[in-house]
Structure 1
């Protein structure tokens, strides 16, 4: 392609841009009016959106006292036990931290959490929070707080209450769990219209998951002890009895630690704080977005009107 051809194409492109700008300038009143309308609409939307507060807690995995010992015993004597016809229970290589995170996200945990703390109205029907009185305002089209009655039509069809699926989806929207890069620390956060509720819920989540994981390990350890005790009674081989007694001791340590440690799976490094500033909405960005969208759409409308007027003439 020759230099003259390239120059010609660049000239045509520049000329096209100039023509487009001239069209927009010719309809500047229309463009300004429509852009202003979008800005006003975005301002109204931004002002109507309630403030959302975010509270978070930073936790670290609690040190496991027994899993290494159990794994060591199982790997060391598993072959001997299998030769004797026994199957030693193993703690496995399950990452309990990952398991705890997935449990927090699970339907069972969330639904049990909502039911235990009786937070369904605060979860699904809050419209705003009054800072001065520290009171929640509920959407009167969804929930009557005075009579404790769900009004929305979709809830009326479900025995006059939201379904567990409704509460689960909403809770997953306000819950976030993030593993911090280059560390074992984990950030658990809750967003809500009330900063006090956001703080109390994220505290409760850490407490509840520690309880759930503790109870799981207690049950598992007790089952293992029962199993090993039966195997001890069955075998007369002294070495095997020694191995099985060692495993019983390790599971007994698990039970002891589960009963002693309050922060069983997660140690709180930075407690949940009471947020003073809202995390969203970003009202300034909403207005800027309205301005950009309004400018683009109004410019497109100006070009379409210009083309239509030329064809008509």
Structure 2
């Protein structure tokens, strides 16, 4: 008996929910032409907006990290003289993988600030307005940059040139640096409305990181050799002198290798190209998602207006 009684509220609730859905559908059906017109106008606006978005082109380079291999002579001394070597800033380990460090350097402010200043990034990012695929001409926005100079705001008299930090923030959004944990390969890509600029920036990033790491390595080797020579001059123990000579020899070899090896941090596996196919925007997706959200929003607004009017009418009668 109690089970039968418990079933009645559930059935009533189901019927009530069904009636509510039918009522909502009838309200929307009565306003179908309004919904259709507003949806059409909304979709037309979204389509027009998507057409104003410039095509973006992404250029990528595939890199193989260069692992620094230490010689067997240094490795054999690691256990006995590792403490001495660490004081001199020398790594006597068998090998070292600094890929993660190099990738963080690429994304660091110090590295990108230098890159931004050397590659005219501010102009190419903030003033690039349109790129003609057929004439390969890049149109710049002459309202902020004209005749090779940044203009000044007439009201505030402040330059319209973005700051280095603003350029950094904008640049990072267009830059992608990722490492494949399985293969160990690194991909660096950059997106711009001019595919030639995207290609040039990717190439220049690889050149600059190799140059920066190589110069840093050479400077460290020089400091290590200088320290070892000073310690060598202060010791009369023949065994220690032999150790110093061995380490100095190996450090000198490493420094000379760094000077002649241009691809010091990364070796190019696949060079970047001037892409012909755009990477974004996906106008079809923008239009489909925009249309779906527009129709949903319009239906909600129609129902809201109906119930507000209905509530006002009920209050007026009472």
TM-score of the two chains, using structure 2 as the length reference:
0.88
- The correspondence for 1:34, drawn from 23, 29, 38, is 38
CA distance in 1, matches of 2:106, 2:158: 26
Check conservation: 1:74, 1:88, Cα contact below 8 A.
no
Check conservation: 2:67, 2:98, Cα contact below 8 A.
no
Q: Alpha-carbon deviations, 1:77-135, whole Å to 9, x = none?
A: 236x59xxx94533388752222111111222112112222332112110110111111
Per the alignment, residue 245 of structure 2 pairs with 245
Structure 1 residue 151, shift from structure 2 partner = 3.0
Counting only pairs closer than 5 Å after superposition, residues 1-313 of structure 1 correspond to structure 2 as 2-66=6-70, 70=74, 73-78=77-82, 87-91=87-91, 95-144=97-146, 147-151=147-151, 153=153, 159=159, 161-313=161-313
CA distance in 1, matches of 2:104, 2:73: 25
What is the RMSD of the two structures over their aligned residues, measured on CA atoms?
Answer: 2.5
TM-score of the two chains, using structure 1 as the length reference:
0.89
Partner-residue secondary structure (3-state), 2:161: coil
* CA gap 1:99/1:158 in 2 versus in 1, 3 angstroms: farther
Structure 1 residue 159, shift from structure 2 partner = 4.7
Structure 1 residue 5, shift from structure 2 partner = 3.3
Q: Alpha-carbon deviations, 1:203-261, whole Å to 9, x = none?
A: 11101100000000000000000000111111112221122222112211211211121
* CA gap 1:230/1:40 in 2 versus in 1, 3 angstroms: same
Partner-residue secondary structure (3-state), 2:68: coil
Check conservation: 1:70, 1:90, Cα contact below 8 A.
no
Corresponding pairs, count: 307
Structure 1 residue 137, shift from structure 2 partner = 1.1
CA distance in 1, matches of 2:73, 2:21: 74
Gaps of at least 5 residues in structure 1 are none
CA distance in 2, matches of 1:230, 1:141: 61
* CA gap 1:25/1:258 in 2 versus in 1, 3 angstroms: same
Partner-residue secondary structure (3-state), 2:69: coil
Per the alignment, residue 316 of structure 2 pairs with none
Which structure has the higher relative contact order (CA within 8 Å, separation 6+)?
Answer: 1
Q: Which of these two proteins has the greater Rg computed from alpha carbons?
A: 2
Structure 1 residue 262, shift from structure 2 partner = 1.6
Partner-residue secondary structure (3-state), 1:161: coil
Structure 1 residue 299, shift from structure 2 partner = 0.4
CA distance in 2, matches of 1:208, 1:150: 27
CA distance in 2, matches of 1:302, 1:241: 90
Check conservation: 1:78, 1:88, Cα contact below 8 A.
no
Gaps of at least 5 residues in structure 2 are 314-318
